[in-house]
């Protein structure tokens, strides 16, 4: 996308391995076609055992092959970006646009206030003109404790921001920084002195916030700050007036200066109005409320969306984003710049595959090669104009000289607060285009993806920037259930998108590249693939018990395409995983999680998506808890999978694992006792498949039969799954 000229603010490089990837894709496509040919030419005759199972495998393999094409489309034209902020500053420093940063939190219990304010402080300390920086905290939980924590952070920021700038601190989240410097020493006595002082101030703030979290906001604090009076009419997180407080503002003469007398960024707390009879529209509703409120307070041309657990790890990332928006050649067509989500608590072998390396390091680069990545709702800089749903046209030009950003703030702060509150009322959007054609789109659990898709449909492009120094870092789930629930929500959201009017399609103006559509389809059909994987995980293993072969003989030439597809995919995924800095154990863990997610999370996503389509919605927006129990944390560090809770997800996984184990054991028993007519040559591939499934599930068997800790499989789940799996095997062997 870059102009390639010496004065360009960014450049674009094509994937050096693209020709190898394309050769692999074409070669494996040929092998997949031969697999289909085998199925069609060897259909069992009428009355022959296994005919319907055979046809079922054919359908599963056809869908798997088609879906694999969507998967490969994202590897066909990957691109990588490099920015040149050293060219940006001298050229545009006097015309830098206002940047509004939206930080979102929704529950003070699962998203602790200390975590929230560390994220807020990390972006307040950006290496950017403070008078052009505004930070908004959207608290959908309406927690007075979170507000109290933000008050404490606003006072601490007066010391923290000068410290960061004076000593060029990175990262600028206090908690992350103090963890980093805990084991380092410095001979700079001035730095050591200031570090001790600032660390003491932080620990005092942390103590006050944590005490308030446990005991409630101190009465002394309530009486000192007028903002707490807004909770007088508060009934519950789902029933309260709009609460809005401008804690710092560049037009305020005293309270918005740091200890060095320098201006601090604008800081605003907002809890939009909630009423039981009004739908909140989840995060999308919070986004739209903040869009309106921020337009009256700061009206920054660029907006950063950030979840409360994704703190900034690089203070210059805002300038990296501006390199794209302010590029003279291509900048005017860019709607958003998506940064990757990174996590600081992922172990060496990534037990739950939370790093989503294939998405972050491969697929989003592939999206970028065809017009732009998905909008993933966090770690993303957006152009305000694009969110107002202005359609892109060649006549559109960047205008960084617009003075409206300064004009809107020249009012009394109290009046500004009262004016802004009305924009966050429940009834404001009634009979308007908000959520339909303005702001974040409503009606789906993946409202961020829909919003990005609509921007692409309006002619805008987007950019994926994956810098060598990560720009943001967060907290990944530390238990299997949390990971599965989160992925179920993503899968269901994409299923809703597939069945909605917003689904990727051939738009009339044809502004979306066909390969970009294939990439969207790859994500939207997550849930549907669960049926193929589920079928492959059950039927071949059961038919071993009857000695019915569903695959070619090991000596047949038809065995070659099956081996090519299997070995090719294993080798490719392993090489790709290792090239991204992973380990062999990490790749194996990822393979296990691929199976678990497909057969549980995406299965439930599919069911709920279909129920919702037929008017029986069963979906809800659930937050992933960021609070970690000590014993769970210890097992996570030791890379021991966490079960420990009765859940339908675990019932499904345990039943499938035990079914494959029983099938394999019963088959081996017959072989040892030489019972039945087991033809090794024709059953080899089938037994190998069952064996691989058993090996993958070893941690599950340990949780059921061996482990004694609290993270073992609950006894009720073990008994239920064992009974179902054993009954299915016996019934199939004796009566089918």
Residues in the chain: 736
The pTM for the full model equals 0.93
Residue 357, pLDDT > 80, answer yes
Higher pLDDT, 585 or 410: 585
Q: What is the pLDDT of residues 175-229, one digit of tens each?
A: 999 998 765 667 788 999 999 999 999 999 999 999 999 999 999 999 989 899 9
Instruction: For 378-424, write each residue's pLDDT tens digit.
Output: 999 999 999 987 777 777 777 776 554 444 444 588 889 999 999 99
Q: Is 608 annotated as a binding residue?
A: no
pLDDT recorded at residue 432: 93
Q: Which residues contact 488 (CB under 8 A, 6 or more apart)?
A: 600, 601, 602, 604, 605, 649
Helix (H, G, I), strand (E, B) or coil at 18: helix
Structure tokens at 88: 């940006």
End-to-end CA distance of the chain: 60
Q: What is the DSSP string of 133-144?
A: EEEEEEETT--H
For 129, half-sphere exposure in the C-beta direction (CA atoms, 13 angstrom radius) is: 13
Lookup result for tokens 């005490």 = 211
Give the sheet arrangement for strand 334-338, strand by strand. Answer: 243-248, 266-271, 133-139, 99-105, 302-307, 380-383, 334-338, 461-464
Set 107, 368, 448, 608: catalytic member: 448
- The per-residue pLDDT for range 487-497, each reduced to its tens digit, is 999 999 888 88
The tokens describing 39, both together, are 């199925």
How far is it, in rounded angstroms, from Cα 381 to Cα 319? 11
Strand, helix or coil for residue 81: strand
Q: pLDDT tens digits, residue range 158-180?
A: 999 999 999 999 999 999 999 98
Q: Is 257 annotated as a binding residue?
A: no
Residue 5 marked in a binding site = no
Is 350 noted as a catalytic residue in this protein?
no
Catalytic residue from among 140, 144, 241, 608: 140
144 is in an annotated binding site: no
Averaged pLDDT, 348-368: 94
The verdict on whether 239 is a catalytic residue reads no
- Based on its alpha-carbon atoms, the radius of gyration of the chain, rounded to whole angstroms, reads 28
Instruction: Give kind and range of the element (H or E) at residue 432.
Output: none
Task: Give all domains of the chain, ordered by start, each with its CATH number.
Answer: 23-76+509-614+629-734 (no CATH), 83-390+411-476 (3.90.550.10)
In contact, 337 and 321? CB cutoff 8 Å: yes
């Amino acid at each position: 996308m870059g102009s390639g000229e010496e004065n360009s603010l960014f450049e674009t490089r094509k994937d050096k391995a693209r020709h190898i990837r394309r050769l692999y894709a074409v070669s494996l496509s040929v092998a997949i076609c031969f697999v289909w040919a085998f199925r069609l030419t060897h259909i069992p005759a009428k009355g022959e055992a296994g005919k319907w199972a055979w046809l079922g495998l054919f359908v599963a393999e056809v869908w798997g092959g088609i879906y694999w094409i969507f998967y490969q489309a994202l590897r066909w034209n990957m691109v990588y970006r490099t920015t040149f902020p050293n060219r940006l500053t001298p050229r545009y420093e006097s015309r830098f646009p206002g940047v509004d940063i939206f930080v979102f939190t929704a529950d003070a219990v699962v998203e602790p206030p200390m975590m929230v304010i560390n994220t807020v402080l990390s972006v307040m300390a950006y290496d950017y003109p403070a008078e052009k920086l505004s930070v908004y905290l959207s608290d959908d939980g309406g927690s007075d404790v979170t507000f109290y924590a933000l008050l404490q952070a606003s006072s601490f920021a007066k010391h923290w921001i000068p410290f960061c700038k004076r000593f060029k601190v990175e990262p600028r989240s206090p908690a992350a920084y103090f963890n980093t410097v805990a084991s380092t020493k410095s001979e700079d006595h001035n730095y050591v002195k200031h570090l001790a002082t600032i660390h003491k101030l932080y620990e005092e703030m942390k103590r006050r916030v944590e005490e308030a979290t446990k005991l409630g906001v101190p009465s002394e604090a309530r009486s000192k700050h007028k903002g707490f009076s807004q909770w007088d009419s508060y009934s519950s997180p789902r029933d309260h007036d709009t609460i809005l407080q401008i804690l710092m503002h560049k037009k305020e003469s005293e309270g918005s200066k740091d200890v060095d007398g320098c201006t601090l960024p604008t800081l605003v707390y907002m809890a939009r109005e909630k009423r039981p009879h009004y739908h909140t529209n989840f995060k999308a509703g919070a986004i739209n409320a903040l869009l309106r409120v921020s337009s009256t307070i700061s009206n920054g041309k660029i907006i950063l969306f950030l979840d409360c657990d994704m703190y900034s790890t690089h203070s210059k990332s805002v300038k990296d984003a501006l390199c794209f928006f302010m590029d003279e050649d291509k900048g005017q067509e860019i709607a958003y710049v998506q940064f990757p989500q990174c996590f600081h608590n992922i172990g060496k072998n990534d037990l739950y595959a939370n790093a989503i390396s294939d998405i972050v390091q491969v697929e989003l680069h592939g999206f970028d090669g065809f017009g732009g990545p998905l909008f993933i709702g966090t770690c993303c800089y957006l152009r305000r104009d694009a969110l107002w749903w202005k359609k892109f046209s060649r006549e559109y030009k960047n205008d960084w000289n617009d003075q409206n950003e300064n004009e809107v703030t020249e009012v009394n702060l109290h009046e500004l607060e009262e004016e802004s509150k009305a924009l966050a009322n429940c009834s404001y959007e009634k009979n308007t285009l908000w959520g339909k054609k303005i702001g974040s789109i409503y009606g789906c659990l993946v409202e961020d993806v829909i919003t990005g898709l609509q921007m692409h449909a309006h002619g805008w492009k987007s950019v994926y920037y994956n810098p060598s120094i990560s720009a943001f870092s967060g907290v990944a789930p530390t238990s299997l259930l949390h990971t599965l629930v989160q992925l179920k929500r993503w899968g269901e959201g994409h299923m809703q998108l597939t069945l909605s009017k917003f689904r990727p399609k051939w738009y009339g103006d044809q502004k979306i590249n066909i390969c970009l559509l294939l990439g969207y389809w790859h994500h939207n059909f997550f849930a549907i693939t669960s049926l193929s994987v589920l079928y492959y995980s059950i039927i071949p293993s059961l038919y071993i018990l009857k000695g019915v072969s569903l695959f070619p003989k090991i000596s047949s030439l038809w065995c070659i395409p099956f081996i090519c597809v299997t070995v090719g995919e294993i080798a490719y995924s392993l090489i790709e995983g290792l090239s991204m800095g992973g380990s062999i154990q990490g790749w194996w863990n990822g393979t296990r999680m691929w199976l678990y997610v497909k057969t549980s999370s995406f299965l439930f996503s599919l069911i709920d998506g279909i129920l919702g389509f037929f008017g029986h919605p069963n979906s809800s927006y659930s937050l992933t808890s960021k609070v970690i129990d000590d014993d769970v944390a210890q097992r996570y560090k030791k890379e021991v999978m966490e079960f420990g809770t009765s859940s339908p997800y675990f019932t499904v996984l345990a039943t499938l694992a035990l079914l494959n184990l029983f099938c394999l054991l019963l088959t081996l028993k017959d072989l040892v006792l030489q019972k039945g007519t087991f033809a090794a040559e024709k059953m080899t591939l089938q037994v190998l498949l069952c064996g691989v499934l058993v090996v993958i599930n070893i941690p599950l068997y340990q949780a059921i039969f061996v482990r004694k800790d609290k993270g073992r499989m609950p006894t009720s789940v073990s008994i239920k799954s064992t009974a179902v799996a054993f009954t299915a095997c016996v019934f199939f062997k004796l009566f089918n």
